[in-house]
Amino acid sequence: MEVNLDKLVKLLKEGNTREKKYAAQKLGELKYENALDYLIEALMDRELTVRKSAFKALESMEQPSVIQYMKKYRERLTLFFINELKNSYWPVRSFAARILGKIGEKKAVKPLIELLNDREGYVRYFSIEALGKLGELSALPYLIRCLIDNCGNIRTYVVDSIIYLLENFPDEPTPQELMILEDSLGKIKEYDNPSIEESSAHIKKLIREKKSKKSRDFVIIHDKYPDDKQFEIIEVNI
């Protein structure tokens, strides 16, 4: 039976919750790229089930096209989902964190860091995953603190996220990033957990490798400052 694509788009835009979910599912199955704008709009539907259906549909489509379309909505989606991180309903918060990781906008880093202490494990998990994907080194010390999360699965996710962040981070850290790496190395020793000993060793190795890229150009001076900065970095000529 021939599917009326225009009718599906109309249902996605104007239908009830059940109809919107159905339309999103079918459009995803058919990989109808003319509906990309409407599926991205549906990510911000008032009903979480519609958002999830739209997200699943987008994931099933050709990713280069989806990514290109997402760029048009990047700012709007980012602001919308940062606001949703404050929602009282935890599934909304976890979905928002997941989407922010997909969008890749670094202004989401600080709000996501705040969710690392969320009472719900799924919210913490998707926040951890998003922070790893965003690739912002300033999140590293906060992720390391999660190595002592009381949930074993979360600790495993943290390790994966940290490793992903470090392996995909440029090999030429700035002086400020070098300071973060030094601070993080100290923290991972402080928060070491026997259950992830092997993974912790791998993380330490990655941090040391990133640090060594600049070790010939910078000297770290240990000190304690009122604003909690632990290190000063000065450039030297070798």
Backbone phi and psi for residue 85, each to the nearest 5 degrees, phi listed first: -65, -20
| Domain residue ranges of the chain, discontinuous segments joined by + | 5-171
Question: Is 3.40.190.10 the CATH number for 5-171?
Answer: no
Q: Residue 173 has what pLDDT?
A: 81
- pLDDT tens track for 159-209: 999 999 999 888 778 888 888 888 888 887 777 667 677 777 888 888 888
Which of 116-125, 152-161, 179-188, 222-231 shows the lowest mean pLDDT across its residues? 222-231
Question: Which residues lie below 8 Å from residue 56, measured CB to CB, with a gap of 6+?
Answer: 24, 25, 28
Which tokens sit at 123? 């919210």
Mean pLDDT of all residues in 33-44: 93
Confidence label for 67 from pLDDT (cuts 50, 70 and 90)? confident
